[in-house]
A and B are shown apart, each in its own frame.
Chain A
Amino acid sequence: MSTEYLINLAYIAAAILFIFGLKQLGSPATARRGNLLSAVGMALAVFVTLFSSQILSYSTIIICVLIGGGIGAYAAEKVEMTAMPEMVAIFNGTGGMASLLVGWVALFGAQVDGFTAFTIALSVIIGGVTFTGSLIAYAKLSERMDGKPIVFDAQRMVNAGIIAAIVILAYLFIQNPSSSSSALWLLVVLAFVFGVMAVIPIGGADMPVVISLLNSYSGLAACAAGFAIDNNLLIVAGSLVGSAGIILTNIMCKAMNRSLANVLFSGFGAVKHSTKQTEGEVKPISVEDAYLILEAASNVMFVPGYGMAVAQAQHAVRELAENLEDNGAEVSFAIHPVAGRMPGHMNVLLAEANVPYDQLIEMDDANPRMDLVDVAIVIGANDVVNPAANEDESSPIYGMPVIEVPRARTVFVLKRGMAAGFSGVDNPLFFGENTRMLFGDAKESITGLVAEFKD
């Protein structure tokens, strides 16, 4: 009894470390220490668990921790920063899978009551959905699968059917919980299927919402597993993560002015089309002319989007920013909350390229100072700078807060060609009076500008 007592005291210490860790993750200056604190909490929790009287042999534990830890460490070291969204998705998925398995194993070697059976069912369902949902998110993000929403006619009916079946199976399982329950097997399978079905209709541009939501699920799955095995620490840590994920999800949805239900259940763009035809002329500009304007500018704002990640242009962009600063211009980076494929995607890429974080500003700070900006450089962003969101009530993205680049004196848009953005919406920005299109690969264009500065 006394070891169990000490173990639980250590769990309290671990929970405190998690809480302080998360708290310190909230500020760039302390974030690294915060992560370390929470890692120490985790190490402590796992270490003291080894002394539990429930543990009879260590061989399986040691071998499996080494295998899993090795895989995790290898992946974490090797991954490219541009591949970070899919890496986070994969780690999320493994966490969900682990919770599913922990819930499942709780059935063996002990008699379970109704409530425990209920929480086992929950951890299997949430864990399973998290696992396959994350795998699909991974496939979409790494472009192993088409990023377009996959929709078919009876989709809602099919999904409703799956949910109904899950509820019924869960009920059957709770009535008669045993490790040989066939209802549980079916439940696992259906949870996997539902994870796939839930993510395939969501398009690439909505991925920030999906990733934060799956992040939340992985916490909730751990929480459910905590109930299943009567472990306070799993409940505390799991619900901390669960609520963190929900907050992020909410921030992402607000940034797109859409409800969570809208993101999850409607294929974007398929809903309605703008009735307004965008008219006007596109004015292209050459690298040389762009350089002349930039050289005279005293305030330059970069607005990056997913295209910058695709073109791997972040290092070239940083070089251009440094040249502009040496030239006496004030440089900032305005980052829309849903730019890229995960929350804060652009910030990570720019940080990788050594852009100091005090130059990165959020949309709400960028818009008030837009009138002072001489040149706004839009790199591979489209929807997040689309003025139709403010002006055109028939536009599918109407109401979404955007970075109001047209108010800058001049706008450069770096773009491969004249295709519409991800959501398939026309962008009147391209036809704007003060807009100049710099066609071509973003990285090449920027490198060209840097070369001009060096001459």
Chain B
Amino acid sequence: MEIVYLTFILMLSIFLGFELISKVPATLHTPLMSGANAISGITLVGAVLAAGADHGGFAEFLAALAVITASVNVVGGYMVTNRMLAMFKKKDSSSGAGR
């Protein structure tokens, strides 16, 4: 039953994802991609659970590596997206800037 339940969640989220993204203007494609990429770092939650479980030995090494790589993804992804989005300005707010 657990499998069916998880698959149910999976299906609904996929449809939700399609609905959310389908109308994004081309201007925002890069930030959207990098922002979505940061969300895929959610695997950090799994990595943290694994690293805290004190498996020891090789498993501990794998888990530690998972936490490191996932944190690179999460922190880097959100920061770089924020940096990009900070540059997008409307006409009036940008005139005079950078001259």
How many inter-chain residue pairs (CB < 8 Å) link A and B?
386
The chain B residue sitting closest to A50, CB to CB, is B48
Whether the Cβ atoms of B40 and A238 lie closer than 8 Å is yes
Contacts of A38 in B (CB 8 A): 35, 38-39, 78
Which of A25, A88, A354 gathers the greatest number of chain B CB atoms within 10 Å?
A25
Whether the Cβ atoms of B63 and A60 lie closer than 8 Å is yes
Given A19-B20, A359-B91, A215 and B36 touching (CB < 8 A)? yes
CA distance A238 to B30 in the complex (A): 18
Contacts of A222 in B (CB 8 A): 40-43
Contacts of A63 in B (CB 8 A): 64
The chain B residue sitting closest to A212, CB to CB, is B33
Q: Is the interface of B mostly helix, strand, loop or mixed?
A: helix
Contacts of A28 in B (CB 8 A): 25, 27-28, 88, 90
Given A105-B59, A109-B59, A35 and B17 touching (CB < 8 A)? no
Q: Is the interface of A mostly helix, strand, loop or mixed?
A: helix
The chain B residue sitting closest to A61, CB to CB, is B51
CA distance A77 to B66 in the complex (A): 22
CA distance A18 to B13 in the complex (A): 11
Q: A229's contact among B3, B27, B46, B75, by CB below 8 Å, is which?
A: B46
Q: Is A299 an interface residue (CB 8 A)?
A: no
Given A42-B38, A68-B70, A238-B40, A357 and B88 touching (CB < 8 A)? yes
The chain B residue sitting closest to A31, CB to CB, is B85
Which of B13, B28, B86 gathers the greatest number of chain A CB atoms within 10 Å?
B13
- Minimum CB–CB distance for B84 against chain A, Å: 6
- Minimum CB–CB distance for B64 against chain A, Å: 5
CA distance A63 to B38 in the complex (A): 20
Given A72-B76, A218-B37, A351-B84, A26 and B32 touching (CB < 8 A)? yes
The chain B residue sitting closest to A250, CB to CB, is B22
CA distance A243 to B49 in the complex (A): 26
Contacts of B30 in A (CB 8 A): 84, 88, 342-345, 347-348
Contacts of B10 in A (CB 8 A): 223, 227, 235, 239
- Minimum CB–CB distance for B15 against chain A, Å: 8
Chain A, range 18-69, C-beta contacts under 8 Å to B: 18-19, 21-23, 25-29, 31-32, 34-36, 38-39, 42, 45-46, 49-50, 52, 54-58, 60-61, 63-65, 67-69
Contacts of A324 in B (CB 8 A): none
Contacts of B44 in A (CB 8 A): 42, 46, 98
Contacts of A344 in B (CB 8 A): 26-33
Contacts of B68 in A (CB 8 A): 64, 67-68, 71
CA distance A39 to B50 in the complex (A): 22
Q: Is A179 an interface residue (CB 8 A)?
A: yes
Q: B50's contact among A94, A106, A233, by CB below 8 Å, is which?
A: A106
- Minimum CB–CB distance for A70 against chain B, Å: 8
Whether the Cβ atoms of B35 and A26 lie closer than 8 Å is no
CA distance A433 to B80 in the complex (A): 44
Q: B43's contact among A36, A39, A72, A95, by CB below 8 Å, is which?
A: A95
Write out, one digit per residue, whether chain A residues 164-188 have a CB within 8 A of any chain B CB (1) or not (0): 0000000000000001000000000
Q: B46's contact among A71, A231, A358, by CB below 8 Å, is which?
A: A231
Contacts of B77 in A (CB 8 A): 72, 76, 91, 95
Whether the Cβ atoms of A348 and B87 lie closer than 8 Å is yes
Whether the Cβ atoms of A76 and B69 lie closer than 8 Å is no
Whether the Cβ atoms of B76 and A91 lie closer than 8 Å is yes
- Minimum CB–CB distance for B95 against chain A, Å: 8
Q: A357's contact among B16, B27, B37, by CB below 8 Å, is which?
A: B27
Write out, one digit per residue, whether chain A residues 105-121 have a CB within 8 A of any chain B CB (1) or not (0): 11011000001000000
Q: Is A221 an interface residue (CB 8 A)?
A: yes
The chain A residue sitting closest to B93, CB to CB, is A356
- Minimum CB–CB distance for B51 against chain A, Å: 5
- Minimum CB–CB distance for B45 against chain A, Å: 5
Write out, one digit per residue, whether chain A residues 3-27 have a CB within 8 A of any chain B CB (1) or not (0): 0000000000000001101110111
